[in-house]
Structure 1
Amino acid sequence: MATPVSQVRSIARLRWAMAGLLGLVLLTLLLGAWQMSRALEKQALFAQYRAASQQAVATWSGGALPAEYRRVRLQGRWLVERELTLAPRTHDGRIGFEVISPFQLQDGQVVLVNRGWLAGDNPVPPARDSAVELMPWPRFFELAATRPEGRQFQNIDAARYAAWAGGPLPVAYARAVGESAPFVRFAGPLGIGPERHLGYAATWWAMSVIGLLLCWRFYRSNRGVPDASS
Structure 2
Amino acid sequence: MSKVQSGSGFKWMLWISGIVLLPLLFGLGLWQLDRAEQKRELLDSWQQAKPSQELPLEQEMTRGSYKAVILKGVLDRERYFLLDNRVRNGRVGYEIVALFIEDSGRSVLVNLGWVLASLDRGVLPEVEVPKGQQTISGSVRVIEKGFALSGDDLEEEQWPKVIQQLDVGKMSSRLVIDIESLEIRLTEPLVPGLDLNWPVVNMKPEKHLGYAFQWFAMASALLCLLIWSAVKIRKEAIYEQV
SS of 1:16 mapped into structure 2: helix
SS of 1:226 mapped into structure 2: helix
Structure 2: stretches of 5+ with no match in the other structure: 119-124
What is aligned with 1:193? 204
What is aligned with 1:76? 73
* Identity %, equivalent residues: 23
What is aligned with 1:226? 237
What is aligned with 2:48? 51
Greater alpha carbon shift after TM alignment, 33-42 vs 179-188: 179-188
What is aligned with 2:136? 130
| Contact 2:45/2:67 (8 A) holds in 1 | no
Does 2:93 match 1:96? yes
Deviation at 1:101, TM superposition (A): 1.0
Does 2:222 match 1:208? no
- What amino acid is the match of 2:110? V
Deviations 1:164-189 (A, max 9, x none): 21222335211111356522223474
Counterpart of 2:153 (choices 143, 147, 152) is 147
| Contact 1:147/1:153 (8 A) holds in 2 | yes
| Contact 1:87/1:153 (8 A) holds in 2 | yes
- What amino acid is the match of 1:160? K
| Contact 1:116/1:184 (8 A) holds in 2 | yes
Structure 1: stretches of 5+ with no match in the other structure: none
- What amino acid is the match of 1:38? R
In the superposition, the TM-score normalised over structure 2's length comes to 0.78
Greater alpha carbon shift after TM alignment, 107-116 vs 125-134: 125-134
| Contact 1:110/1:172 (8 A) holds in 2 | no
In the superposition, the TM-score normalised over structure 1's length comes to 0.81
| Contact 1:35/1:200 (8 A) holds in 2 | yes
Deviation at 1:138, TM superposition (A): 4.6
Deviation at 1:84, TM superposition (A): 1.0
Deviation at 1:78, TM superposition (A): 0.7
| Contact 2:43/2:201 (8 A) holds in 1 | no
Deviation at 1:160, TM superposition (A): 1.8
Q: Distance in 2 between matches of 1:165 and 1:86?
A: 16
Number of paired residues?
Answer: 223
Deviations 1:189-212 (A, max 9, x none): 444332222111111111112212
- What amino acid is the match of 1:25? L
Q: Root-mean-square deviation (CA), in Å? A: 2.9
What is aligned with 2:178? 168
- What amino acid is the match of 2:24? L
